[in-house]
Amino acid sequence: MTLAPTRLLHVVGTRPNFMKVAPVMAAVDAWNGAKGRGGDVSFRQRLVHTGQHYDAAMSTVFFNDLGLKEPDIYLDVRSGSQAQQTAHLMTALEPIILSESPDLVIVVGDVNSTLAAALVAVKLGIPVAHIESGLRSGDRKMPEEINRMVTDRVSDLLFTTSVAASRTLVREGVADDWTFFVGNTMIDCLETTLPVAMRRAKAAELGLSSHGYALVTLHRPSNVDDTGQLGRLAGVLMRVSERIPVVFPVHARTAGRLQAAGSLHELEQMPGVRLLPPLGYIDFLSLMSDARFVVTDSGGIQAESCVIGTPCITARTTTEWTETLQAGMNVLADPYDPKAILAAADTVLGRERLDGGVRPELWDGHAAERIVAAIAQWGTSRS
């Protein structure tokens, strides 16, 4: 007997979400296209982009870079306080989920769109799958930490990036019947995109020498919303630039905060600092692969740099990506202590760069295939 297609609704809201969902959607298409499945599960999938990251030009670049189809539905929710944005997202998503009537809502990561979609779906009695379940930084002051914890509690299928994340779910009392250790879909995306990024040679295009610069990203509210703290970080970057050139792609929100902190002009005047506009995924990946090290507060960049082999200095006191610390590819540096980041930079500059990187278990480029197989198993169990 041929089963009716399992209806999947993917909900994304930010650029890192695009990188995590693109391999899954490709794996769904590959599953549907495989021959000889007979009465096995097939899928119909739709994509909702909430517009939490609402720079249309940047979203288009990322969708093109990832080979991701245009969203079936675009909500244009935009920004607001944590409560305002989450409420707006839930209000906007409810009629969409009702209209689409999916068998499964798939959410990724830890942003407000993730939480909002999970809450709306579960209140409507629709099962939820969470990709990147079980990640914890231990810092409940981070909105992302709360989003992770709540989303995991209401999800039916939980896909983890590590054995440690799976153990976290068990420790927190989340049922493990439908918990799957599958690996990291960001690395799936990296596998397919890195060869293209390396051929792009963005560093050479900018006149930068290979492994001769530090690449910086900053976006966490704890680092950029307080103008005093952001000013301190800008001062640290200026001091780092006295050791090695600093390349800093600055998103509009961070640029506005730097302006308010009185630091934007100072950075622009530093001969060792190169400020760039926001970059697409391939251009950024090209710069990251050629950098001597990265300074970031991004979770995704910690994971990607580990596999690429670019040392990472994380301007945070905690991280959900503990595998990267254990691999020796990442170090935490207290962003409130300027000496910590400078000391980490000096340590990295004093050792050889590890080409080839480190791959934690199952970070092998096949996480999305495992996810789709698990969803098919789940779909069969419900029929």
- At residue 192, what is the residue type? T
Choose among 194, 196, 198, 184: nearest CA to 365: 184
| The 3-state secondary structure of 183-248, one letter per residue | CCHHHHHHHHHHHHHHHHCHHHHCCCCCCCCEEECCCCHHHHCCHHHHHHHHHHHHHHCCCCCEEE
Tokens found for residue 20 = 């995590």
- Say which of 219, 251, 265, 366 is annotated catalytic: 219
- DSSP 8-state code for residue 371: H
- DSSP 8-state code for residue 78: -
Active site residue 219: yes
Residues 6 or more apart whose Cβ sits within 8 Å of residue 183: 161, 361, 362, 363, 364, 366, 367, 370
- At residue 269, what is the residue type? Q
First to last CA, the chain: 11
Q: Which residues are catalytic?
A: 219
